[in-house]
Amino acid sequence: MVSHQVPRWSAWIFRASPGWQRTACAPGASVGQQRWPRIPWQVSGPLAFRGCASTAPRVPRVMPTSERYPVQRLPFSVVSEEDLAAFERIIPGRVITDPEELEVANVDWLRTVRGCSKVLLRPRTTEEVSHILRHCHQRNLAVNPQGGNTGMVGGSVPVFDEIILSTALMNQVISFHDVSGILVCQAGCVLEELNHYVQERGFIMPLDLGAKGSCHIGGNVATNAGGLRFLRYGSLRGTVLGLEVVLADGTVLDCLTSLRKDNTGYDLKQLFIGSEGTLGVITAVSISCPPRPKAVNVAFLGCPGFAEVLQAFSTCKGTLGEILSAFEFMDAECMQLVGQHLHLARPVRESPFYILVETSGSSAEHDAEKLDGFLEQALGSGLVTDGTVGTDQSKAQSLWALRERITEALSHDGYVFKYDVSLPVERFYDLVSDLRARLGPRAKHVVGYGHLGDGNLHLNVTAEAFSTALLGALEPYVYTWTAAQRGSVSAEHGLGLRKKDVLGYSKPPTAVQLMWQLKALLDPRGLLNPYKTLPAHA
Amino acid sequence: MVSHQVPRWSAWIFRASPGWQRTACAPGASVGQQRWPRIPWQVSGPLAFRGCASTAPRVPRVMPTSERYPVQRLPFSVVSEEDLAAFERIIPGRVITDPEELEVANVDWLRTVRGCSKVLLRPRTTEEVSHILRHCHQRNLAVNPQGGNTGMVGGSVPVFDEIILSTALMNQVISFHDVSGILVCQAGCVLEELNHYVQERGFIMPLDLGAKGSCHIGGNVATNAGGLRFLRYGSLRGTVLGLEVVLADGTVLDCLTSLRKDNTGYDLKQLFIGSEGTLGVITAVSISCPPRPKAVNVAFLGCPGFAEVLQAFSTCKGTLGEILSAFEFMDAECMQLVGQHLHLARPVRESPFYILVETSGSSAEHDAEKLDGFLEQALGSGLVTDGTVGTDQSKAQSLWALRERITEALSHDGYVFKYDVSLPVERFYDLVSDLRARLGPRAKHVVGYGHLGDGNLHLNVTAEAFSTALLGALEPYVYTWTAAQRGSVSAEHGLGLRKKDVLGYSKPPTAVQLMWQLKALLDPRGLLNPYKTLPAHA
């Protein structure tokens, strides 16, 4: 997320009262806050979390999905020795049946769902994927496509014994155009590695998310990932230019164009963006990358109330204009958890709310002037009471870590009930306050954070352990509350296994019916990622 | 396109040699070029062209489509007196059978195709559209949805006697959110009127095109219109947040959400964006509008060659960064036609190529500094030899008119063979040069212009009249040439009637087959906009 910079001050810190000061210092040095830690960036990836979780002795074994959720196995065939032999012929040496390797692929990184697949396949090419799916189609074998397994809704692991089709070895860049910034690559490329690749060539990936160190671009597209750059670069529906997809019967659908504009008929690739592997397996992606900004600044600010957060956002849009690239918020409880579980220090004085504002632009001088203008206005009018700005990469990354690692901090706090909703910004935080009052001491923590600039709230509730009673207090309350505001019950995480039955809170029956018709058209035997995305009853 | 400005210089003009000067002047005054005309902005809309064409006595009657093209009427029912009575009950007083009114709706504005519909319906509400389509579905009557009738490929008028379903009276704004800039409106709102509406509230529409004075937002979405702001604000696939659509059987599909993020299941609205009314009738649109820029500058520059145009584009991206909002180009023949037919004066010295660069930003001072930087670099290195900059609205509009009114100038030059292709920018102009050599004196003019920043070339060939011999020299030559570069044979105009059979140059058979399957799913009787978009033989 943070790229080449031309620092004006490497970092400075200020206070609203009695008067704010800046402290210039050498690039890379930490200032002001002595407790500020230096965080290795990659630690924030899900692989790191998963590592932590599996080595911690107190972590209990994840209950099989079929025991926790009311789901019945559909009458697919069971993988036989003959099937394994057939797969071995298609991808020699890449048919995995080792239980330890399967354990990692059967459990989601949040440790909430567990499948019991007996085989993991690692194709390298589209042709291999096509052969595998053709075989599965003939044999009526269900398939769970898997990227980096970083999904939030149980969509990336099997529910029963579905074959796991991993894109991990499909990790080659196919082409990159130095002038247009158009990247074509296989689906299994890791987002962070792609970002490094295009950064070296003067561009950045149009999306960024906490899981970047593990997630695959194919999985990002299949789940229509939003993330931290959405505010500036928009949806994957605009930035993805082409896809190559293998359909359920093994047919290869080549829509892998690299054109910014192409109005030749229906835009078929859109069917697969956000369909969570239920309509086809994405094998390659063509994506438009924006130029790498010459200057990046990150401001981390304390706000006295949520009304001030909203007003700061309006001020921010007015003063920063086209260089605003992120506007994130977190509440005081988030900061407390990040400090408690990850030992990250609060870089500003304690406040009820914190915001992170990022600018990305082509002129360090102009950007700094704009940011100064915003900060002066925000401080002068009391919207912000305290803050720090990072203009060098290390400081900026440290500030981002406070926001990005909230998910990780939560996972250390106990069982996490996760909600990811879109709401009108005026009502954005009311849901958190309402829920805190409703649950009282039954919850350890009720926290709110997220992409305020996109109207996307991450609402999380932690408890010592999973409890159906607490679940009953949360659901359908959260969904009816959201539906009453005409919000979305899944802003960016998708539906997967755990949210599919709440689809009706955001989509009318006609739309759900059309979804089922599309599923029947593209995957009539229902082999691809079964039990996911579509509600159980049509 | 041009909004509130904070002028630094209202306009200035320069020459590369012997030395360039700036001339500051009062806002609104014309400078430097005495012949510079003041153009009423709205004149450039297609209604104006159409007006011109119909009053000009030399314009011949447009040949019926069924005589010019090898197309057979499908076995739909014929509208009966009972049908008219039924429509009259649904939309009293808005069932049009007057031949003069039908004449306008039966012929496209380019005057290349003509239907023979006997009835035009003007519903005001979604419910009325639903009732009409339910009736047509029961009676097996074909329907041609029509917005502003500004399409370029014969998609907006009937081929035979299809019922014309006009969105002209569905022109109400439903809601606008002053903070988020999200507009919800009926499909028949005129783009330019919407732009005025949101401009007054501090925003702009994310798209702009020459036909803005006539085109409807529903038609823009149905054809996935690109246009002049695509470079900055991207595709409608990203900016359209929700749609309401009436399906072929009259079912209303409500996907009219107003959320920046919504990952609840398949994104059904995408099916209808760009499907040219063949899968459903769009009745309402929810769209995200960007903030109105505080400063807009337009530079019109002469370039000595196409290599310099490309290099100027690279320089432009590097120096203007996030404020670049348009990079358009036109060749010398375009300028000649605009002068000859519309009496618009060339604002700079004669050059082989011209580029129009627009910046839109939040700080007049910063933007002017960035633009100065670009111009100094471009002039210093000989990429640009002459230019003028408009920082006030009137001058900026005059400069834009040179580019926007090329289509109109061409229509005065005779019969126009129009091509709209996406190509890799390196080969962008070669197609024009190749074709000029190939056609020799058989063509009056072969011109190239378009959205270079998006890789989108408008290639136009004019002749005294339509000629199958000339058509034979053009096609499939243009399409095979484009396909050899892996380009798109329709970058933004769509397929409509006239391009549907060339789909195969840009899409593989698997994709065409899937298009037909989607058509069969959503419109099994093939009633909606028949003879369009899908190639004649599956």
Among B258, B260, B278, most A C-beta atoms within 10 A, so best to mutate, is B260
Per-residue pLDDT of chain A (538 residues; tens, 9 = 90+): 333 332 222 334 444 433 333 333 322 333 233 222 222 222 233 333 332 333 344 557 899 999 988 899 999 999 999 999 999 999 999 999 999 999 999 999 888 899 999 999 999 999 999 999 999 999 999 999 999 999 999 999 999 999 999 999 999 999 999 888 999 999 999 999 999 999 999 999 999 998 999 999 999 999 999 988 999 999 999 999 999 999 999 999 999 999 999 999 999 999 999 999 999 999 999 999 999 999 999 999 999 999 999 999 999 999 999 999 999 999 999 999 999 999 999 999 999 999 999 999 999 999 999 999 999 999 999 999 999 999 888 999 999 999 999 999 999 999 999 999 999 988 989 999 999 999 999 999 999 999 998 999 999 999 999 899 999 999 999 999 999 999 999 999 999 999 999 999 999 999 999 999 999 999 999 999 999 999 976 5
Chain-chain contact of B274 with A251 (C-beta, under 8 angstroms): no
Classify residue A332: in a domain, yes or no: yes
* The token pair that represents A283 in the structure block: 């094998």
* Contact list, A511 vs chain B (CB under 8 Å): 253-255, 265, 268
Give the closest of B237, B291, B451 to A270, CB-based.
B237
Token pair recorded at residue B390: 């408009």
pLDDT the model gives residue A536 = 79
Residues A234 and A268 in one domain: yes
CB contact under 8 A, A293 and B321: yes
User: Same structural domain for residues A179 and A220?
Assistant: yes
Q: In 3D, which of B372, B380, B389, B391 has the Cα closest to residue B300?
A: B389
Among A226, A369, A486, beta carbon nearest to B261: A226
- A460 and A358 part of one domain: no
Contacts of B514 in chain A (CB under 8 A): 253, 266, 268
Confirm if B300 and B347 have CB atoms less than 8 A apart.
yes
CB contact under 8 A, B361 and A321: yes
> A-B interface: how many C-beta pairs under 8 angstroms?
256
Partners of residue B292 in chain A, C-beta under 8 Å? none
Low-confidence ranges of chain B (pLDDT < 70): 1-59, 537-538
Contact A534 B180 (CB under 8 A): no
Q: Please, which residues have CB within 8 angstroms of residue A403's CB and are 6 or more apart in sequence?
A: A328, A330, A356, A449
**Considering CB atoms only, which of B265, B293, B361 is closest to A495?**
B265
From the list A322, A491, A493, which residue is nearest B362 (CB)? A322
Whether B1 maps to a domain, the answer reads no
Same domain, B78 and B133: yes
Domain stop point among B384, B407, B430: B407
Strand extents, DSSP E, A370-414: 386-390
To the nearest whole Å, the CA of A332 is away from the closest chain B CA by 25
pLDDT of residue B110: 86
Best B266, B288, B426, B492 residue to mutate vs chain A (most A CBs within 10 Å): B266
Same domain, A16 and A54: no
A70 and A92 housed in the same domain: yes
Question: Does a structural domain hold residue A123?
Answer: yes
DSSP SS3 for A301: strand
Same domain, A124 and A97: yes
- ipTM, two decimals, is 0.90
Could A261 and B370 be called an inter-chain contact, meaning their C-beta atoms sit closer than 8 Å? Answer: no
Min Cα separation B177/chain A (Å): 10
Q: In this structure, what CATH number is given to the domain that contains residue A342?
A: 3.30.70.2190
DSSP state of A440: G
The answer to whether the CB atoms of B263 and A508 lie below 8 A apart is: no
- Cβ contact (<8 Å) for B224 and A267? yes
Give me the sign of the Cα torsion angle A280, A509, A497, B241: positive
Chain B residue with minimum CA distance to A241: B235
Answer yes or no: do A362 and B370 touch at CB < 8 A.
yes
- Residue B378, H or E segment: helix B364-380
Which of A355, A375, A407 lies at the terminal end of a domain, its last residue?
Answer: A407
Number of folded domains that form chain B: 4
User: Are B435 and B457 within 8 A, CB to CB?
Assistant: no
Q: What is the CATH number of the domain that holds A55?
A: 3.30.43.10
CATH code of the domain in which B493 resides = 3.30.70.2740
Identify whether the C-beta of residue A384 lies closer than 8 Å to the C-beta of residue A16: yes
Looking at the domain assignment, is residue A530 inside a domain?
no
SS3 B385: coil
Query: CA–CA separation, A305 vs A310, rounded Å?
Result: 9
Residues of A in contact with B294 (CB under 8 A): 321
- Does residue B374 lie within any of the structural domains? yes
Query: Least CA distance to B496: which residue of chain A?
Result: A265
Q: Is residue B533 situated within a structural domain?
A: no
Give Cα separations from B353 to B261, B383, B411 (angstroms): 42, 11, 21
- The pLDDT value recorded for residue B68 is 87
The domain that holds B283 is classified in CATH as 3.30.465.10
A495 chain-B contacts, CB cut-off 8 A: 263-265
Residue B527 included in any domain: no
Tell me if A367 sits within 8 A of A323, measured CB to CB. yes
| Domain boundary, last residue among A132, A166, A200 | A166
Task: Compare all CA atoms of chain B with the CA of A320 and give the residue at the minimum distance.
Answer: B362
Q: Within this chain, do residues A251 and A224 fall inside the same structural domain, yes or no?
A: yes
Domain that holds residue A142: 48-166
* The predicted structure's pLDDT at residue B58: 52
Q: Nearest-CA residue of chain B relative to A493?
A: B263
Question: Does residue B372 fall inside a structural domain?
Answer: yes
Amino acid at B437: A
Radius of gyration of chain A (CA): 23
Which of B393, B459, B405 minimizes the C-alpha distance to B46? B405
**Mean pLDDT of all residues in chain B?**
89
B chain contacts of residue A532, beta-carbon cutoff 8 Å:
none
Q: Are residues B26 and B133 in the same domain?
A: no
- Whether residue B101 sits in one domain with residue B30: no
> Do A126 and A225 lie in a common domain?
no
Residue at A123: amino acid letter: P
In this structure, the strands spanning B143-146 and B163-166 are parallel
